[in-house]
Every structure is written in structure tokens, then in C-alpha cells.
């Protein structure tokens, strides 16, 4: 009985054969480079694979995933992906995708020590603290978690718009929309939170960067 590790190679052979049959130029085309219009920032959760749930093909979505789809502005990994996506690939859309039933969100709502991950969950706890009145007013644990998932996505969208990378792009009239969406693991449906931010007008003055100065420095 082959285990999953062995199966991935058999699956891969079958997938290559299928691709070559339906689209003989598929691999040749992708070998020339990528031009994805979307950057996806999602959760590492195995149930939320970016391409499959969006019906997209290799080459269409540039992906960054971490626990609870966080935009941590000191995270060099996230910043490097964002910088490359916005400034080199020139993506038109940046999507933060959360999902109901997120283990990271649920852990952040509790007080149990988990280990080194507690330090990552701190970022989610900061979001919780910011919206504590609304979250704590919800009695049902499942509803509380669902609302926290949505609020967390919203805050990560705002955190993206606070980065110099995104503010620079907007200042130079590059079209970049930032979206917040939530995936429901229980039925497969994607919900758009309709944030669709494309400028820094909504930002508190504390976070707005001096645009003239940015352009002058580039």
C-alpha cells in the first residue's frame, strides 16, 4: 500500500500527461516566465490551496502562505514576496484570504501555551485586543471565531496598505487593489469582504507616508 509520499510522483506523472494532452504548449509557455495578475496571501492550512479553490492554473497566482494569513510588517519573507509581486511582476490585485475554522485564529482567542508559535499568534492577539469589545460580545464560540477570522483579514488588508511598498505603488499611479476574502472550509465558498482598497485615503495620518518624498527618493 503506497503512502501519500509515493503517490505524489504517480499523481505528478498523470498530471503531466493530462496537461500535455489538453494543452500541448502548457509547459513550454510556462518555461518562458510568469506574469500573474494576482498575489495571494493565505493561510498555510492544507484545506485552503490557492489554485484549486479559485479554479486558476499554474502561472496565474503568486502565492505567500503562513499561519493565519498574516501581514507582519517586520516579516522579511512576506515583504520580499510583496515587493517582488508589486514591483517586478506588477500584480493588479493583492488578496488576503482567511478561512473559517482557522486554527491560528482559534488559538489566538485562547490562553493556552502552544510553543514557539505563541510568538506568531501574538500578532493575531493584537488584532483581537483592537476589536475586543465586538468579539467578546459574541457568545457563540463558533460565531466568535468566524467574526474574528473576518476582522483579522480586514486588519491584514489595512496592514498591507500601510506598507511603503503599497503606498509607493499607489503614489506612482500603479493600479493595485487590495482585497479581503474568506473561504468557508465547510462548503468551499469564497466570500468577498468588499474592502477593495486602491489608495491610502482610509489610512490614519499616522501611517500615511509622504508621497513627494517617496517619489524623490526613488
Residues serving a catalytic function are 43, 45, 47, 99, 102
* 67-126 binders of Co ion (CB under 5 A): 102
Selection from 136, 172, 144, 154 nearest residue 98 by Cα: 154
Write the CA distances from 122 to 45, 69, 118, integer angstroms.
18, 14, 6
Measured distance CA(97)–CA(184) in Å, rounded: 10
- Residue 45 or 159 having the CB closest to Co ion: 45
Mark the segment that binds Co ion (CB under 5 A) among 38-46, 164-172, 178-186, 201-209.
Answer: 38-46
Nearer to Co ion, 14 or 47 (CB): 47
Q: What is the largest CA-CA distance in the chain?
A: 64
Residue with cell 499611479: 173
Q: Examine residue 182 and tell whether it contacts Co ion (CB under 5 A).
A: no
Other beta carbons within 10 Å of 54: 17
Size of the residue set binding Co ion (CB under 5 A)? 3
Question: Taking CB under 5 A as the rule, does residue 159 contact Co ion?
Answer: no
SS3 label, residue 197: strand
Nearest residue (CB) to Co ion, 102 versus 176 = 102
Closest approach of Co ion to the CB of residue 69, in Å: 7
Instruction: Tell me which of 38, 43, 85, 157 binds Co ion, using CB under 5 A.
Output: 43
Nearer to Co ion, 31 or 46 (CB): 46
Strands, sheet with 61-66, edge to edge from the N-terminal-most edge strand:
61-66, 38-43, 93-99, 177-183, 190-192
State yes or no: residue 127 binds Co ion (CB under 5 A): no
Residues forming contacts to Co ion in the complex (CB under 5 A) are: 43, 45, 102
Amino acid at each position: 500500500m503506497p503512502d501519500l509520499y509515493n503517490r505524489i510522483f504517480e499523481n505528478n506523472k498523470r498530471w503531466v500527461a493530462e496537461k500535455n494532452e489538453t494543452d500541448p504548449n502548457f509547459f513550454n509557455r510556462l518555461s518562458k516566465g510568469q506574469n500573474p495578475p494576482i498575489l495571494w496571501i493565505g493561510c498555510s492550512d492544507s484545506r485552503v490551496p490557492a489554485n484549486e479553490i479559485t479554479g486558476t492554473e499554474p502561472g496565474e497566482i503568486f502565492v505567500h502562505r503562513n499561519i493565519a494569513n498574516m501581514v507582519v510588517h517586520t516579516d522579511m519573507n512576506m515583504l520580499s514576496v510583496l515587493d517582488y509581486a508589486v514591483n517586478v511582476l506588477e500584480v493588479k490585485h493583492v488578496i488576503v484570504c482567511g478561512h473559517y475554522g482557522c486554527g491560528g485564529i482559534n488559538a489566538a482567542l485562547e490562553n493556552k501555551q502552544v510553543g514557539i508559535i505563541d510568538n506568531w499568534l501574538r500578532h493575531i492577539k493584537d488584532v483581537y485586543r483592537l476589536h475586543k469589545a465586538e468579539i467578546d460580545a459574541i457568545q457563540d464560540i463558533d460565531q466568535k471565531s468566524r467574526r474574528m477570522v473576518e476582522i483579522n483579514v480586514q486588519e491584514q488588508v489595512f496592514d498591507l496598505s500601510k506598507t511603503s511598498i503599497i503606498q509607493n505603488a499607489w503614489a506612482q499611479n500603479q493600479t493595485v487593489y487590495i482585497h479581503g476574502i474568506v473561504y468557508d472550509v465547510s462548503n468551499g465558498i469564497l466570500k468577498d469582504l468588499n474592502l477593495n482598497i486602491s489608495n491610502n485615503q482610509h489610512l490614519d495620518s499616522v501611517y500615511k507616508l509622504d508621497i513627494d518624498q517617496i517619489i524623490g527618493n526613488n
